């Protein structure tokens, strides 16, 4: 709606203002900002979880776009009446499911400015600021996290790029790793075969012959991004078993065993994903052991997925436990999401690699229309050559706004608060008769399970049933939102409840109130279980 209340269609017809110029939509813009502010003023009074039924919107919306443009006032009103009921409020203080996916007003305004200068930024020349701000932000973040200088864009060899998700980062790393492995393999061919491979890329028959044999490794705790990357690349994924006694972290000897078996069968280990902060329990894989195993496999590339926990490297006291030195020493690439715990709205996945040549060898395809004199001179980065897609979002603006407004100190304080909440909750759970902590508290994540204090030696199968019943009760509620998980190890299968703190709007009072809900549902489950048992006796 413009100052005269005209629709987009009417503006196109008259062209008296730029169709998207500032005076066209100022009242709609102010109204949008006001309604967003109102939303955050009252977010704590809403249910966390949407309670609409599947198909609610499909049944309500017209089945085709309107023929004529509609007034923006009506469109904005429909956002409130149709879309809001179907929103689960991830910024709600009692949202403790999955991991936080935080947004802040700095990030939202960054998105707004970014979309106001919308452009696909694939080459430096498309919008030099897009590329150069991203280079600087990736170096700011690398320094704040304590990553080695090899990852810095300013090194001229390594560098960082903002991608859409940790899954995309892992797939990107896997594609770069495949290319590196192919180069290394073709170099080791007989001179006659190697002669056929002169030129930068590996000939298709040789590529096919090798890629069929390539294997990706992770653990049973690796996020599904590992199996997905393998699926997309037409390769196998090995989920190496972990042990409960190692707190579900991947150990070097377990990886070595699986790799040795594969090599005996003629397979080629080429990509290993180690995790810092697994999704189920926040486990940290033993990166030094893994790195040492990989020394025997020149085709193998180590990617560290720290999608959630990686931002916590901003806290120097946590670097040792999160094995930062090992990431710096052994990893070829590293990813953490600013869009999880890092105060920056989705999407903002930060991906670094020690040798940017691994990316350009995999992704640089340059037809004449994509050439520019700056690119030809090699004086600029064209991020299209570092990623799968051509076009890209101008994501660095929101990160720039966040880092400048919070500063390193504010960023650290935010993380420290989430960790403090988790430690306080851990003390509460330790004092409770009906619950136990399953794995050591990891940053702002606590994994607990219901137990029966009257039967302290209950087997896992019984406890698993109790915990499934607990989760079913919690899942039926809309005032809290939590996630269940199953921790699989060589010893056992344990059903438990994840409590993911660290939301920017969450206070200790919210944590306590969520805990009271969990405790009270736990009591109900135990009562029902005991009365059922009595009936059966
Ligand atoms: C350890 C880990 N890796 C990767 C992901 C996936 O992140 P994305 O949605 O950015 O692909 C998650 C999601 O929670 C995660 O916990």
Kindly list the domain boundaries of the chain, sorted by start residue: 8-89, 415-536
162 CA to centre of ligand 1 in angstroms: 15
Asked if pLDDT for residue 199 goes beyond 60, the answer is no
Asked if pLDDT for residue 430 goes beyond 90, the answer is yes
Q: How high is the pLDDT of residue 60? A: 97
Q: Comparing 201-215, 349-363, 479-493, which segment has the lowest mean pLDDT? A: 201-215
**Which helix (H) or strand (E) segment is 514 a member of?**
helix 508-536
Q: Region 166-173: what's the mean pLDDT?
A: 98
Helical ranges in 159-308 per DSSP H:
166-187, 191-196, 204-211, 225-233, 252-264, 287-294
Asked if pLDDT for residue 25 goes beyond 70, the answer is no
356 CA to centre of ligand 1 in angstroms: 23
* pLDDT digits 0-9 by tens, 275-296: 999 999 999 999 999 999 999 9
Q: How high is the pLDDT of residue 204? A: 79
Q: Is the CB of 215 under 6 A from ligand 1?
A: no
Q: Region 70-84: what's the mean pLDDT?
A: 96
223 CA to centre of ligand 1 in angstroms: 6
CB proximity list for 39: less than 8 A, separation 6 or greater: none
239 CA to centre of ligand 1 in angstroms: 17
411 CA to centre of ligand 1 in angstroms: 20
Q: Is the CB of 99 under 6 A from ligand 1?
A: yes
Per-residue b or e along 63-83, where b marks 16 or more CB atoms closer than 10 Å to that residue's CB: eeeeeeeeebeeeeeeeeeee
Angle ∠(31,37,39) on CA atoms, nearest 5: 100
Q: Is the CB of 308 under 6 A from ligand 1?
A: yes
Q: How high is the pLDDT of residue 128? A: 95
Q: Is the CB of 305 under 6 A from ligand 1?
A: yes
What are the tokens at 54?
């599947």
State which of 168, 220, 223, 274 you would mutate to test the pocket of ligand 1, scoring each by most atoms of that ligand within 8 A of its C-beta.
Answer: 223
142 CA to centre of ligand 1 in angstroms: 19
State which of 335, 337, 349 you would mutate to test the pocket of ligand 1, scoring each by most atoms of that ligand within 8 A of its C-beta.
Answer: 337
187 CA to centre of ligand 1 in angstroms: 35
Q: How high is the pLDDT of residue 21? A: 59
Q: Is the CB of 336 under 6 A from ligand 1?
A: no
State which of 225, 285, 344, 443 you would mutate to test the pocket of ligand 1, scoring each by most atoms of that ligand within 8 A of its C-beta.
Answer: 225
Asked if pLDDT for residue 408 goes beyond 70, the answer is yes
In this prediction, residue 8 has a pLDDT band, given cuts at 50, 70 and 90, of confident
DSSP annotation of 82: I
Q: Is the CB of 349 under 6 A from ligand 1?
A: yes
Q: How high is the pLDDT of residue 106? A: 96
* pLDDT digits 0-9 by tens, 230-253: 999 999 999 999 999 999 999 999
176 CA to centre of ligand 1 in angstroms: 20
307 CA to centre of ligand 1 in angstroms: 5
Q: How high is the pLDDT of residue 189? A: 66
100 CA to centre of ligand 1 in angstroms: 11
CATH number for region 8-89: 1.20.1340.10
Q: Which of 469, 380, 463 is nearest to 130 (CA)?
A: 380
Q: How high is the pLDDT of residue 24? A: 55
* pLDDT digits 0-9 by tens, 512-535: 999 999 999 999 999 999 998 877
Q: Comparing 311-325, 341-355, 362-376, 478-492, which segment has the lowest mean pLDDT? A: 362-376
Asked if pLDDT for residue 394 goes beyond 50, the answer is yes
Q: Which atom of ligand 1 is nearest to the CA of 306?
A: 1
State which of 279, 345, 442, 483 you would mutate to test the pocket of ligand 1, scoring each by most atoms of that ligand within 8 A of its C-beta.
Answer: 279
Q: Which atom of ligand 1 is nearest to the CA of 167?
A: 11
Of the two residues 367 and 452, the one the predictor is more confident about is 452
Q: Is the peptide bond before 285 cis (omega within 30 degrees of 0)?
A: no
Q: How high is the pLDDT of residue 203? A: 76
What is the C-alpha to C-alpha distance for residues 28 and 362, in angstroms, rounded to an integer?
45
Q: Comparing 86-90, 353-357, 456-460, which segment has the lowest mean pLDDT? A: 456-460
Q: How high is the pLDDT of residue 532? A: 86
The SS3 of residue 58 is helix
Q: Is the CB of 275 under 6 A from ligand 1?
A: yes
What is the C-alpha to C-alpha distance for residues 242 and 248, in angstroms, rounded to an integer?
5
Domain 415-536, architecture per CATH: Alpha-Beta Complex (3.90)
Of the two residues 272 and 13, the one the predictor is more confident about is 272
Q: How high is the pLDDT of residue 536? A: 73
Of the two residues 207 and 25, the one the predictor is more confident about is 207
322 CA to centre of ligand 1 in angstroms: 17
Q: Region 84-107: what's the mean pLDDT?
A: 97
Q: Is the CB of 307 under 6 A from ligand 1?
A: yes
Q: Whose CA is nearest to atom 9 of ligand 1?
A: 165
339 CA to centre of ligand 1 in angstroms: 10
Q: How high is the pLDDT of residue 1? A: 46
CB 354 within 8 Å of CB 157? yes
Q: Comparing 1-10, 52-61, 294-303, which segment has the lowest mean pLDDT? A: 1-10
Q: Region 298-319: what's the mean pLDDT?
A: 98
What does pLDDT average to over the chain?
Answer: 93
According to DSSP, the residues that pair with 68 across neighbouring strands are: none
Do 8-89 and 415-536 have matching folds? no
Q: Is the CB of 101 under 6 A from ligand 1?
A: no
């Amino acid at each position: 709606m413009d100052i005269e209340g005209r629709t987009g269609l009417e503006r196109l017809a008259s062209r008296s203002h730029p169709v998207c110029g500032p005076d066209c939509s100022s009242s709609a813009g102010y109204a949008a900002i006001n309604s967003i502010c109102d939303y955050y003023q009252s977010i704590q009074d809403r249910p966390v979880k949407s309670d609409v039924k599947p198909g609610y919107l499909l049944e309500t919306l017209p089945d085709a776009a309107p023929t004529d443009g509609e007034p923006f006032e009506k469109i904005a009103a429909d956002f409130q009446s149709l879309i809001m009921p179907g929103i689960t409020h991830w910024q709600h203080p009692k949202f403790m499911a999955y991991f936080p996916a935080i947004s802040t007003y700095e990030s939202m305004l960054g998105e707004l400015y970014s979309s106001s200068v919308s452009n696909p930024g694939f080459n430096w020349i498309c919008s030099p600021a897009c590329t150069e701000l991203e280079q600087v932000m990736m170096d700011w973040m690398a320094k704040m996290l304590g990553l080695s200088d090899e990852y810095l864009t300013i090194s001229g060899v390594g560098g960082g790029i903002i991608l859409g998700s940790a899954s995309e980062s892992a797939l990107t790393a896997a594609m770069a790793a495949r290319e590196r492995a192919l180069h290394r393999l073709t170099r080791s061919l007989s001179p006659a075969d190697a002669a056929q491979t002169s030129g930068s890329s590996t000939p298709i028959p040789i590529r096919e012959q090798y890629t069929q044999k390539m294997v990706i490794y992770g653990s049973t705790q690796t996020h599904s991004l590992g199996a997905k990357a393998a699926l997309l690349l037409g390769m196998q994924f090995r989920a190496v078993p972990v042990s409960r006694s190692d707190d579900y972290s991947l150990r070097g000897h377990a990886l070595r065993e699986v790799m040795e078996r594969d090599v005996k069968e003629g397979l080629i280990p080429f990509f290993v994903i180690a995790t810092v902060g697994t999704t189920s329990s926040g486990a940290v894989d033993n990166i030094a052991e893994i790195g040492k195993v990989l020394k025997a496999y020149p085709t193998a590339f180590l990617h560290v997925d720290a999608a959630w926990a990686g931002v916590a490297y901003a806290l120097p006291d946590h670097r040792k436990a999160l094995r930062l030195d090992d990431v710096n020493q052994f990893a070829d690439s590293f990813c953490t999401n600013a869009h999880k715990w890092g105060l920056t709205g989705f999407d903002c996945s930060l991906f670094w690699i020690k040798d940017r040549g691994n990316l350009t060898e995999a992704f640089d395809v340059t037809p004449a229309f994509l050439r520019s004199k700056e690119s030809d001179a090699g004086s600029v980065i064209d991020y299209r050559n570092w990623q799968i897609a051509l076009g890209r979002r101008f994501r660095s603006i929101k990160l720039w706004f966040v880092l400048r407004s919070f500063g390193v100190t504010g960023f650290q304080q935010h993380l420290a608060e989430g960790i403090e909440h988790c430690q306080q909750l851990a003390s509460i759970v330790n004092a409770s008769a009906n619950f136990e902590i399953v794995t050591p508290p990891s940053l702002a994540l606590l994994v607990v399970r219901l137990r029966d204090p009257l039967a302290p030696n209950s087997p896992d199968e019984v406890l698993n049933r109790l915990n499934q019943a607990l989760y079913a009760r919690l899942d039926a509620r809309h005032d809290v939102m939590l996630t269940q998980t199953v921790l699989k190890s060589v010893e056992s299968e344990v059903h438990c409840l994840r409590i993911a703190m660290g939301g920017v709007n969450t206070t200790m009072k919210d944590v306590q109130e969520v805990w009271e809900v969990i405790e009270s549902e736990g009591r109900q489950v135990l009562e029902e279980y005991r009365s059922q048992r009595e009936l059966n006796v």
